[in-house]
Amino acid sequence: MDTFEFIRSVPTQLFVGGRFVPAENNATFSVSDPATGKSLTDVADASPADALRALDEAVAVSSTWASTPARERGEILRAVYEKITERAEDVALLMTLEMGKALAESRAEVKYGAEFFRWFSEEAVRIGGRYTPAPAGNGRILVTKAPVGPCLAITPWNFPLAMGTRKIGPALAAGCTIIVKPASETPLTMLLLAQLMAEAGLPDGVLSVLPTSKSGEVTGPLIDDPRLRKLTFTGSTGVGKMLVEKSAKRLLRTSMELGGNAPFVVFDDADVDKAVEGAVLAKLRNGGEACTAANRFHVANAVREEFTTKLTEKMATFTMGPGTDPETKLGPLINQNQLDTVAELVADAVDAGAKVRLGGEAPGGEGYFYPATVLADVPASARILKEEVFGPVAAITGFDTEAEGIAAANDTEFGLAAYIFTRDLDRALRVSDALESGMIGVNRGVISDAAAPFGGVKESGFGREGGTEGIEEYLNTKYIALES
């Protein structure tokens, strides 16, 4: 099957009530290939009325799904995991076509994204509570958990599968129904997932998927509707703040996984070769378009030149090209706006005195390509040390003492992920305690794991996804006082 035929086989309508249906007035919008800038296909463009219809469906089956035995919910999630695994190559290809990442990256995301269904299929049967005597001796305390109810998930374009499965898995495991509004740049992967979930036996109405080019218009009525009980969002801090403000009118329960500005701290006692390997993973995974991507490389001056030279050599091997090309290690950025942002931040750093050791200039031509780039001697005044670059650019600066390294790492309003490299266990634990971050990688460049709690502090948001903590975001705690 060629690419054209494959795209024609993918669902492009709204998924509501267990069926693929057209949007109101048959409205559509175009989805493009970042490698060419050309349209892949047209997708149904949901309206506010479509959104409320999806909420009607979610509410109608909410109590039935909540009362479905946990084992049965878990088995459906496990069946979805199996479906994704069976169709892994199709899901990966679709992701690469609409998002741009290299096929190897897409295959890795399929494996990672599917794992949330396997993990939460097991967590569904472990929702517990407690039963204890009241301290005063006048009764019993019974604590139980209950699903929060219908949820809205707003997902980003950079991980079209995993950012959805990380929310859908725990919501369904907890007994909640859910509406997903995928990013307009990458709705096709989520629509294919909806198809696979229906094939796996998910009851009608439990999941809806609403692609739209009018995000605020479509999600606004849902957030204002008292029947919606939970909002979960992954995206920029600016948009997250607006959503929190809007949801505050109803005290809607929210969880926010927002922007990052991850420091990558290399101490003078680090294994430099291992630090470079970790840096390549932390920087170039997903082409740098990840909230956990290392953004600021704070390297002890004693090893800074060695690290910079070796990192430059490694990053120089990342050849650019369409993600569908087997030789490609670095696909295009998502769109022209992102390309312009990366180019602007690099130019600002160079103007401030940074030295370009690799890359540093877009090739031009078709698609939104930017090369793997290393900037050395980046001054503290450069914007790239303050703003999330979301691209394949490593900005390197130095420090002398451990205290200076910690202070530089914490010098940001964000606090999602951080990375440290050292051979000293005491230092690793001491620095981890001092870093203002929700997640810390010690001597490793990839930290995401379905079995671990994912989330940040400060302006990187609140709430956790994954791990045993992830399902708690979709559960209410209920206390029952029992008379002795």
Residues with active-site annotation: 257
Contacts of 431 (CB under 8 A, 6+ apart): 265, 402, 405, 406, 420, 422
Q: Show the CA angle centred on residue 461, arms to residues 373 and 58, nearest 5°.
A: 115
SS3 66: helix
447, HSE (Cβ side, Cα atoms, 13 Å): 27
Distance CA(232)–CA(163), nearest Å, equals 11
Specify the pairing of strand 461-462 against strand 253-257.
antiparallel
Distance CA(355)–CA(374), nearest Å, equals 8
224, HSE (Cβ side, Cα atoms, 13 Å): 9
**205: left (phi > 0), else alpha (psi -120 to 50), else beta?**
left
463 forms bridges with which residues in the sheet? none
Per-residue b/e over 332-361, b at no fewer than 16 CB within 10 Å? bbbbeebbebbbebbeebbebebeebbbbe
- Torsion sign, CA atoms 424, 430, 434, 439: positive
Contacts of 25 (CB under 8 A, 6+ apart): 47
The amino acid at 461: G
Q: What share of the chain is helix, strand, coil (3-state, %, to 5)?
A: 40, 20, 35
Q: In what order do the strands lie in the sheet with 207-209?
A: 19-21, 14-16, 207-209, 178-181, 151-154, 230-234, 253-257, 461-462
